[in-house]
Structure formats: C-alpha cells, structure tokens
Amino acid sequence: MITKKDVEYVAKLARIGFSESEIEQFTKQLGAILEYIGKLNELDISKVEPTSHVLPIKNVYREDVLKKSLPVEEVMKIAVAKDKNQFKVPKVIE
C-alpha cells in the first residue's frame, strides 16, 4: 500500500511541488491505480524474458563524422534567461 510518506518521497524525486491536500489526493489515486496494477501479480513470469524493445533490431550506430552544430544564436533563442551565450539559472548551491 502506498503511503503519504512514499508519495512525498516520490514527489521529491520527481521535483514536483505539491500542497498537503494534493499529496493526500494523490496518495488515494495512486493507491487505487497501483491496486489495479497489482493484477500483474496473478501471472507467473519466472521464465519470461522482459521486452524493452519490441522489434529485434540491434547494432544501430553512426560513423564518427562531424555534423553541423546549431548556430549559437539559434540555441540562445530558446533560452528563458541567458548571459554571455550561456543559459542562466539561479545559483546552484552545492
């Protein structure tokens, strides 16, 4: 059973701010969804390989050949905040 504490921990991992009441609502909703997902425990999967790629393709790579980068003006056009052609963020406190 997922607890409020679990939800708070996950919110922290996911970097999403929540109000107290939202945490409570999410605990309930996620609890219901997880209970439904618990259905998967009915199956014996001990001898089953996982499928992370649905198609049997492998060994896809590119040669080490230079491609044009974006012009720096194009890059900086998307920036929320910038300074000296760099993305500006609130100070990182280490």
Residues from 20 through 39 that contact other proteins (CB under 8 A): 26, 29-30, 32-34, 36-39
Q: What is each CA distance from 88 to 16, 50, 70, 71, 85, in whole angstroms?
A: 21, 42, 19, 18, 9
Nearest distance in Å: CB 76, other proteins: 7
Alpha-carbon dihedral angle through residues 34, 4, 16, 51, given to the nearest 10 degrees: -20
Q: d(Cα 51, Cα 34) in Å, to the nearest integer? A: 21
Residues from 40 through 79 that contact other proteins (CB under 8 A): 40-41, 43, 45, 48-55, 57-70, 72, 74-79
Residue 17 engages other proteins in binding (rule: CB under 8 A): yes
Residue 88 engages other proteins in binding (rule: CB under 8 A): yes
Residue among 68, 88, 69 at smallest CA distance from 78: 88
Residues that bind other proteins (CB under 8 A): 2, 6-7, 9-18, 26, 29-30, 32-34, 36-41, 43, 45, 48-55, 57-70, 72, 74-81, 83-94
